[in-house]
Chain A
Amino acid sequence: GAGVSQSPSNKVTEKGKDVELRCDPISGHTALYWYRQSLGQGLEFLIYFQGNSAPDKSGLPSDRFSAERTGGSVSTLTIQRTQQEDSAVYLCASSPRESYYGYTFGSGTRLTVV
């Protein structure tokens, strides 16, 4: 597609439930990144994919968080047993091989855990 697409745009979930957030990167972009941003805060790096593999998972805050990428394209970030501190905007970005730091971000998924 023309840009990075994330779904859903908004998600309200009850504490303890599992959620899945989806990212559809720009076609042909080899690298895909997940960040989260809490209200008024900077971006917190979560995980990075090169193709289908994740060389850097260092930012995942706990074992409740996991992510996968299939076919070198769509990625899913799963949060199990959500907690209120998981409430944030989850942003996905992708970049092409020839310009790894030329990220294109999606509009994000606003997650609210109640």
Chain B
Amino acid sequence: LAKTTQPISMDSYEGQEVNITCSHNNIATNDYITWYQQFPSQGPRFIIQGYKTKVTNEVASLFIPADRKSSTLSLPRVSLSDTAVYYCLVGDNGQAGTALIFGKGTTLSVSS
């Protein structure tokens, strides 16, 4: 699995857009980029996954440049409830036999 690097922490205010960038220089051709969100006292929750360009769902957008060596998770107009740890993971989504290895993630703190 490709190693990822993301900021340890970020601070924001309610209503702002938050962009969390993840570096994955050794991403392989078959690898997908997956983001998880973890609230305190809960298990992580899958929020978005992409392979290239842009993916958008009701929670977030994921931007992936052509070289795929990085990706940016974008949270529009955050609220206090978006305070959580966000994990970036890279791996071959269709390949059984490996488990996701979660790093320390990015702790996002949203203030009023």
Query: Do B96 and A105 touch (CB < 8 A)?
Result: no
Query: Do A48 and B103 touch (CB < 8 A)?
Result: no
How many residues of chain B get a CB closer than 8 Å to chain A's CBs? 24
Known: A33-B99, A42-B104, A45-B99. A101 touches B43 (CB 8 A): no
Q: Is B46 an interface residue (CB 8 A)?
A: yes
Tier of interface size on chain A: 20 to 34
Known: A42-B102, A43-B44. A55 touches B97 (CB 8 A): yes
- Chain A contacts of B49 at CB under 8 A? 99, 101-102
- Tally of A-B Cβ pairs under 8 angstroms: 63
Query: Do B43 and A91 touch (CB < 8 A)?
Result: yes
Query: Do B43 and A106 touch (CB < 8 A)?
Result: yes
Q: Which of A45, A50, A97, A105 contacts B43 (CB 8 A)?
A: A105
Which chain B residue lies CB-closest to A48?
A: B99
Q: Whole-angstrom distance between the alpha carbons of A48 and B100 in the complex?
A: 10
Using a CB–CB cutoff of 8 Å, the interface residues on chain A facing chain B are 4, 30-31, 33, 35, 41-43, 45, 48, 50, 55-56, 59, 91, 93, 97, 99-108
